[in-house]
């Protein structure tokens, strides 16, 4: 499986490029399930493509695609049987690695003192089936937050170290995608055990599969496959090239850190605050947003306590509450905090942008605020 | 002083309350000792812990005791919220949870050979008291030492006995002021900045440290800069909402900084570009 320092594993195995038929993917799910993994991936639910348990490829959104725009998300039929013919939906893999609600520990009162209960059992082992290249980068970014600083989140680490990653290169550019600007897609280059490119059309349907780790190469032994022919590899490459050319948006990242640090007082923040509902949808759907809070609760008799860690959002007044009031009381200051953190402060904190260009914050913003447009407006105000 | 990667940084360690002391009507000091045979907490002046009242919650509190090998972990706390009020109800023998110490330290060693100016507002005196202990333990290492302390009323003065003792020393300049007072008060009235003219120091060879409300620190810095101090000679302790103390929860951000791990003590020239901006 992909290790945290995945690069090593990736370099050490003999990289192979093979072709697998759609039925081979069912075999892959079966083999991994038998190894004790819980396979999770894209599936249809309530009019959207979300991530949940997969029993077979029949659970994938077969033949569906999405139409996305600022504040808009609609599914429609593709007219073929593509398994991965859509872009990312409202969920991201962070819900498995950094769950929206987690109990950190339990304790019980014992006389004047209290006793901590032993650490909980082992975390689930997941197969992430259908991870997009931008999402691989999002996982790499959250690794830096939760595993590579002075303090480590043990729950995140044990989940992360045990995943098997099946990446899917993007043959479809979503209506709000800008991975090319963020240099995160549309082709997976690291962080996966296997990377698939789906080729569908003209009566053929196959997957060009590249191995990304020793574990990925090994599992091929159990999956029907054959060596990829040059023209098949070329067809997959063409597809990814086309996707890169169909990006709907662009974000100029050159000098963006200093740009935003220079513009704390830019009037554009007032403009965006006039539209922003401070609903925090953008942070819910963002695959890198990591803020959370800590809640201590007891049962009714007060003798059993536990500590919970739910997600938290920099768009609430409570988030920055300090005795006497909220530091960021205005919508302007909260949107500014979110975007400046994402595109600028993140670089200082973790050596990378916090944005991967997935476009979720644009699609799922109820009023269609577009981070690329806001960044451009600030840049242009300096011209 | 900060611990290395910790396997369970969110699990508090049990500490027994060994002493409770009331400072003012809403401020109290707790002395804590690790339960069982755990070693006393090693910390540097300026660092804080997360204090946990069973089932109630956790709050970040500066350490205000003597960093030099004291077995007691000392915290001075103002009862303003649910958790701090629960802590206020603690009695000797009660057990609290402690995580930490976290954060950066005051530049006590860097100040050796220099004059030192400490300016505290309200409960901001708590972390600077740790500095005073360090300075006094090696008094000969430092030049002139001035401690300027302002608080709301005479009734809000914390560490009163100690302040009076220090004020009696010939090698310390201790000044106290209050915002407002009754007619029985014979001391100073006014902001901390009004005490600055009484502090003598060599601007070229001084380290200044501040802890208090941002507005108090801002005007103290402005006044000291007029006296010739440079930004890099001044240090301040910043405060933001904190939930984890370990740089993960995101609450305490100030621009690129996490106050819990990059601070709370910052050299002023590092945060100058953010300091005083509204709603950062």
Whether B88 and B124 share a structural domain: no
Structure tokens at A208: 């060009």
B180 pLDDT above the threshold of 50: yes
Residues of A in contact with B124 (CB under 8 A): none
Q: How many CA atoms lie within 13 A of B63 on its CB side?
A: 32
Candidates A98, A106, A112, A346: best to mutate against B (most CBs of B within 10 A) is A112
Residue A348 in contact with partner chain B when CB distance is under 8 A: yes
A106 pLDDT above the threshold of 60: yes
Range of the domain at A111: 6-245
In angstroms, the CA B3 to CA B9 distance is 10
Instruction: Please tell me which residue of chain A has the smallest CA distance to B259.
Output: A349
Residue B17 in contact with partner chain A when CB distance is under 8 A: no
Picking from B10, B93, B277, the nearest residue to A307 by CB comes out as B10
pLDDT tier at B5 (50, 70, 90 boundaries)? Answer: very low
Percentage of the residues of chain B whose pLDDT score is greater than 90: 93
Range of the domain at B59: 13-102
Residue B215 lies in a domain: yes
In angstroms, the CA B77 to CA A48 distance is 50
Task: Out of B69, B102, B135, pick the residue that ends a domain.
Answer: B102
Picking from B7, B57, B249, the nearest residue to A292 by CB comes out as B249
A6 pLDDT above the threshold of 50: no
Whether B150 and B50 share a structural domain: no
Residue A213 lies in a domain: yes
Residue A124 lies in a domain: yes
Whether A231 and A295 share a structural domain: no
Whether A241 and A272 share a structural domain: no
Whether B65 and B34 share a structural domain: yes
Residue B257 lies in a domain: no
How high is the pLDDT of residue B6?
Answer: 52
A3 pLDDT above the threshold of 70: no
Residue A317 in contact with partner chain B when CB distance is under 8 A: no
Task: Out of B102, B125, B149, pick the residue that ends a domain.
Answer: B102
How high is the pLDDT of residue A111?
Answer: 87
Interface list for B 49-68 with A (CB within 8 A): 52, 54-58
> Do the chains contact at B279 and A327, CB–CB below 8 Å?
yes
| Closest-CA distance of chain B to residue A369, Å | 21
Taking residues A288-310, report their average pLDDT.
Answer: 96
Residue B33 lies in a domain: yes
CATH number at residue B184: 3.40.50.80
Residue A1 lies in a domain: no
Whether B121 and B198 share a structural domain: yes
Residue A34 in contact with partner chain B when CB distance is under 8 A: no
Residue A250 lies in a domain: no
Whether A191 and A238 share a structural domain: yes
How high is the pLDDT of residue B195?
Answer: 97
Picking from A109, A116, A347, the nearest residue to B11 by CB comes out as A116
Residue B276 lies in a domain: no
Candidates B255, B257, B272, B273: best to mutate against A (most CBs of A within 10 A) is B255
Residue B139 in contact with partner chain A when CB distance is under 8 A: no
Q: How many CA atoms lie within 13 A of A116 on its CB side?
A: 19
Whether A261 and A239 share a structural domain: no
> Do the chains contact at B58 and A296, CB–CB below 8 Å?
yes
Report the number of distinct structural domains present in chain A. Answer: 2
Instruction: Please tell me which residue of chain A has the smallest CA distance to B93.
Output: A112
In angstroms, the CA B130 to CA B47 distance is 10
Q: pLDDT per residue over B230-255, tens digit each?
A: 999 999 999 999 999 999 999 999 99
Residue A358 lies in a domain: yes
Contact criterion met (CB below 8 Å) for A136 and A167:
yes
Candidates A102, A110, A150: best to mutate against B (most CBs of B within 10 A) is A150
Whether A226 and A105 share a structural domain: yes
In angstroms, the CA B243 to CA A227 distance is 53
Whether B134 and B98 share a structural domain: no
Contact criterion met (CB below 8 Å) for A188 and A211:
no
Whether A277 and A241 share a structural domain: no
Report the number of distinct structural domains present in chain B. Answer: 2
Whether B93 and B137 share a structural domain: no
In angstroms, the CA B254 to CA B68 distance is 31
Q: pLDDT per residue over A161-187, tens digit each?
A: 999 999 999 999 999 999 999 999 999
Taking residues B180-203, report their average pLDDT.
Answer: 96
Among B23, B268, B255, B13, smallest CA distance to B126 is for: B23
Among A31, A33, A27, smallest CA distance to A225 is for: A27
Whether B149 and B198 share a structural domain: yes
How high is the pLDDT of residue A114?
Answer: 93
Residue B73 lies in a domain: yes
In angstroms, the CA A182 to CA A133 distance is 11
Among A345, A172, A140, smallest CA distance to A248 is for: A172
Whether B132 and B232 share a structural domain: yes
Percentage of the residues of chain A whose pLDDT score is greater than 90: 91
Residue B213 in contact with partner chain A when CB distance is under 8 A: no
Q: Is the dihedral of CA B211, B271, A324, B220 positive or negative?
A: positive
Whether B69 and B124 share a structural domain: no
How high is the pLDDT of residue A119?
Answer: 74
A12 pLDDT above the threshold of 80: no
Task: Out of A245, A270, A292, pick the residue that ends a domain.
Answer: A245
Taking residues B99-122, report their average pLDDT.
Answer: 97
Picking from A296, A319, A333, the nearest residue to B55 by CB comes out as A296
Among B176, B83, B82, B80, smallest CA distance to B125 is for: B176
pLDDT tier at A11 (50, 70, 90 boundaries)? Answer: low
Q: pLDDT per residue over B52-82, tens digit each?
A: 999 999 999 999 999 887 679 999 999 999 9
Q: How many CA atoms lie within 13 A of A341 on its CB side?
A: 23
Whether A134 and A261 share a structural domain: no
Q: What is the average pLDDT value for chain A, to the nearest integer?
A: 95
Q: Angle at CA A101, nearest 5°, toward A98 and A102?
A: 75
Residues of A in contact with B10 (CB under 8 A): 104-105, 294, 307, 309
- Show the beta-strand stretches assigned E in chain A: 17-20, 38-45, 48-53, 64-69, 72-77, 103-110, 113-116, 126-131, 164-168, 194-201, 204-211, 226-227, 295-298, 304-308, 321-322, 325-326
| Cis ω for the linkage preceding B103 (within 30 of 0) | no
Whether B120 and B230 share a structural domain: yes
> What is the ipTM, given to two decimal places?
0.93
Taking residues A221-249, report their average pLDDT.
Answer: 96
């Amino acid at each position: 499986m992909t290790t945290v320092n995945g690069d090593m594993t990736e370099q050490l195995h003999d990289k192979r490029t093979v072709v697998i038929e759609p039925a081979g993917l069912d075999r892959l799910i079966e083999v991994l399930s038998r190894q004790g993994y819980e396979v999770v991936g894209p599936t249809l639910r309530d009019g959207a493509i979300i991530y949940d348990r997969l029993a077979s490829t029949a659970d994938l959104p077969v033949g569906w695609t999405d139409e996305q725009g600022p504040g808009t998300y609609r599914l429609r039929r593709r007219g073929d049987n593509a398994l991965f013919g859509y872009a990312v939906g409202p969920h991201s893999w962070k819900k498995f690695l950094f769950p929206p609600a987690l109990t950190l520990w339990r304790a019980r009162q014992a006389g004047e003192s209290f006793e901590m209960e032993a650490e909980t059992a082992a975390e689930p082992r997941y197969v992430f089936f259908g991870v997009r290249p931008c999402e691989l980068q999002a996982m790499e970014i959250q690794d830096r937050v939760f595993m590579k600083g002075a303090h480590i989140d043990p729950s995140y680490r044990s989940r992360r170290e045990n995943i098997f990653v099946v990446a899917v290169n993007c043959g479809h550019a979503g209506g709000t995608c800008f991975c090319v600007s963020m240099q995160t897609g549309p082709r997976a280059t690291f962080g996966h055990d296997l990377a698939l490119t789906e080729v569908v059309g003209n009566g053929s349907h196959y997957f060009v599969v590249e191995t990304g780790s020793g574990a990925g190469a090994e599992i091929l032994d159990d999956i029907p496959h054959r060596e990829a022919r040059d023209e098949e590899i070329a067809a997959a490459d063409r597809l990814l090239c086309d996707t890169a050319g169909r990006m709907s948006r662009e974000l100029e990242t050159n000098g963006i850190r200093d740009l935003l640090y220079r513009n704390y007082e830019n009037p554009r923040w007032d403009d965006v605050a006039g539209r922003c509902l401070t609903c925090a949808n953008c942070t819910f759907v963002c695959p890198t947003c990591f803020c959370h809070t800590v809640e201590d609760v007891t049962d009714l008799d007060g003798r059993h306590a536990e500590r919970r860690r739910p997600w938290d959002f920099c768009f609430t007044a409570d988030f920055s509450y300090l005795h006497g009031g909220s530091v960021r009381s205005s919508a302007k200051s909260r949107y500014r905090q979110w975007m400046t953190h994402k595109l600028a402060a993140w670089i200082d904190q973790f050596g990378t942008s916090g944005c991967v260009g997935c476009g979720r914050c644009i699609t799922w913003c109820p009023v269609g605020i577009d981070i690329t447009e806001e960044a451009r407006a600030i840049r242009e105000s300096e011209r | 002083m900060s611990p290395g990667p910790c396997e369970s940084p969110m699990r508090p360690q049990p500490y027994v309350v060994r002493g409770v002391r009331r400072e003012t009507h809403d401020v109290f000091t707790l002395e804590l000792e690790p339960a069982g045979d755990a070693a006393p907490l090693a910390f540097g002046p300026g660092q804080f812990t997360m204090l946990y009242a069973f089932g109630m919650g956790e709050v970040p509190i500066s350490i205000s005791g003597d960093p030099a090998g004291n077995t007691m972990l000392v915290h001075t706390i103002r009862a303003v919220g649910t958790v701090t009020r629960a802590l206020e109800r603690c009695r000797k023998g009660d057990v609290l949870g402690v995580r930490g110490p976290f954060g950066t330290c005051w530049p006590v060693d860097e100040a050796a050979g220099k004059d030192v100016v400490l300016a505290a507002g309200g409960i901001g005196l708590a972390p600077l008291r740790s500095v005073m202990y360090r300075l006094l333990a090696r008094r000969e290492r430092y030049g002139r030492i001035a401690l300027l302390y302002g608080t709301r009323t005479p009734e809000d003065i914390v560490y009163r006995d100690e302040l009076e003792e220090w004020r009696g020393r010939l090698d310390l300049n201790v000044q106290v002021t209050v915002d407002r007072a009754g007619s029985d008060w014979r001391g100073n009235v006014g902001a901390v900045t009004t005490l600055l003219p009484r502090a003598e120091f060599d601007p070229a060879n001084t380290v200044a440290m501040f802890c208090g409300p941002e507005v108090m620190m801002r005007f103290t810095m402005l006044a000291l800069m007029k006296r010739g101090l440079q930004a890099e000679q001044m240090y301040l302790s910043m405060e933001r909402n904190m939930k984890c103390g370990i740089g993960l929860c995101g609450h305490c951000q100030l621009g690129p900084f996490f106050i819990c791990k990059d601070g709370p003590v910052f050299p002023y020239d590092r945060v100058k570009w953010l300091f005083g901006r509204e709603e950062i």
